[in-house]
Structure 1
Amino acid sequence: MTNIDFSPLFRSVIGFDRLANALESAYRTEPGGYPPYNVEIEDENKYRITMAVAGFSEGDLNLEVKENILTVAGNRPDDEKERRYLYRGIANRSFERKFQLADYVRVVDARLVNGLLHIDLVREVPEAMKPRKIEVRGADGSHFIEAEKKVQQAA
């Protein structure tokens, strides 16, 4: 297995160590392709994960968010002992898949429709974390705009 060094990506950024760890962890532990899934971007702050979980009912599925990790698990009852197959092409096994969520991303809905599990997520950045404009004041503590108005009024 080849290790990828992400350190060049983080030379000029501060505080993204969790992102580096998440990238390395995802690279090392990505499970197989069961169940298949899509991750859609609906708009700037809305996402949807769609997982193909044919054969699972609502009671067989468990979703949990803990420390920014969404875990989706499907548990199948073990009734396969009574069945005999000539050919078995439909996966009918339990699974667990984990998704690392960014800060302020939360699960708002989960629906099972026609064998597809739709998980809707929204990024809700608190007001205190949103970009804001910082005023630059002059050396005397006055605002530049106010000083400019005084100059115009004196002329």
Structure 2
Amino acid sequence: MTKLTLGAHPYMLGFEQLERMLERSAKSGNEGYPPFNIEQTSQNSYRITLAVAGFGEGDLAITVEDRQLVIRGRQRDDSDERIYLHRGIAARQFQRSFVLADGVEVGEAIMENGLLHVDLTRAQPEMVVQKIKINKG
């Protein structure tokens, strides 16, 4: 039995890039930290919320790289300045990646009560009907 991939399906033309993006997303190494939610806030908008307690605005970076939303966090290591009797809260870095479809744009990012909210909107493509002229060969 032959495995039929999205890019090899006879009626799906030009979707090879989508298949590569799905593979890249699966291999991106997103672990379980930090936990996050994705909610649909309207028919054409979404909000990604990450639990980033302990991170300040200066510890976080949000970029869009090749249709991929990348959120990075890096805390300063202040262990030289403090003496811990118990250290259960790790100062670790993270990277979360989300593949964006064409037409999805990143809006504002808001930090609130240890939560980072990133708003996304999807532009509605206009319906285009194109008539193709048939030439005599």
Q: State TM-score, norm by structure 2.
A: 0.80
Q: Which residue of 2 aligns with 1:49?
A: 48
Does the 8 Å CA contact 1:70/1:101 hold for their aligned counterparts? Answer: yes
Question: Structure 1 10/91 Cα, relative in aligned 2: closer, same or farther at 3 Å?
Answer: farther
**Coordinate RMSD, CA, aligned:** 2.3
Instruction: Write the deviation string for residues 12-66 of structure 1: whole angstroms up to 9, x where unpaired.
Output: 2111112111111222233211111111112221011000000111111111112
Q: Which has the higher contact order (CA 8 A, sep 6+)?
A: 2
1:69 aligned onto 2:65: no
Larger radius of gyration: 1
Number of residue pairs aligned between Structure 1 and Structure 2: 128
Letter in 1 for 2:127: P
Which structure features the higher share of helix residues? 1
Once the two structures are TM-superposed, the CA of residue 133 in structure 1 deviates from its matched residue by 5.5
Q: Which residue of 2 aligns with 1:141?
A: none
Q: Which residue of 2 aligns with 1:7?
A: 5
Q: State TM-score, norm by structure 1.
A: 0.71
Q: Which residue of 1 aligns with 2:82?
A: 83
Does the 8 Å CA contact 1:54/1:115 hold for their aligned counterparts? Answer: yes
CA distance in 2 between counterparts of 1:21 and 1:122 reads 23
Gaps of 5+ in 2: 132-137
Gaps of 5+ in 1: 136-155
Letter in 2 for 1:102: A
Identical residues among aligned pairs (%): 44
Once the two structures are TM-superposed, the CA of residue 92 in structure 1 deviates from its matched residue by 2.2
Q: Which residue of 2 aligns with 1:95?
A: 94
1:105 aligned onto 2:128: no
